[in-house]
A and B are shown apart, each in its own frame.
Chain A
Amino acid sequence: EIVLTQSPATLSLSPGERATLSCRASQSVSDYLAWYQQKPGQAPRLLIYDASNRATGIPARVSGSGSGTDFTLTISSLEPEDFAVYYCQQRRNWPLTFGGGTKVEI
Chain B
Amino acid sequence: QVQVVESGGGVVQPGGSVRLSCAASGFIFNKHGIHWVRQAPGKGLEWVAFIRYDGINKYYADSVRGRFTISRDNSNNTLFLQMNSLRTEDTAVYYCAKNRETYYDSSPFDIWGQGTMVTVSS
Question: Which residues of A pack against B, CB within 8 Å?
Answer: 1, 32, 34, 36, 38, 42-46, 49-50, 55-56, 87, 89, 91-92, 94-101
Nearest A residue to B50 via CB reads A96
The A contact surface, by secondary structure, is loop
B113 and A91 form a contact (CB under 8 A): no
Residues of B53-73 at the interface with A, using a CB-CB cut-off of 8 Å, are: 59-62
Closest A residue to B107 using CB positions: A91
Nearest Cβ on chain B to A73's Cβ, whole angstroms:
14
Q: Which residues of the partner chain B approach A101 to less than 8 Å between Cβ atoms?
A: 44-45
Select one of B46, B60, B113 contacting A43, CB under 8 A.
B113
> Contacts A50-B108, A55-B110 given: A43-B59 contact, CB under 8 Å?
no
Minimal beta-carbon separation of B54 from chain A (angstroms): 18
Q: How far is the CA of A1 from the CA of B59 in the complex (A)?
A: 13
Contact assessment for A32 and B62 in the assembled complex, using a CB-CB cutoff below 8 Å: no
Question: In whole angstroms, what is the CA distance A95 to B62 when docked?
Answer: 8
Q: Is the CB of A43 within 8 A of B44?
A: no
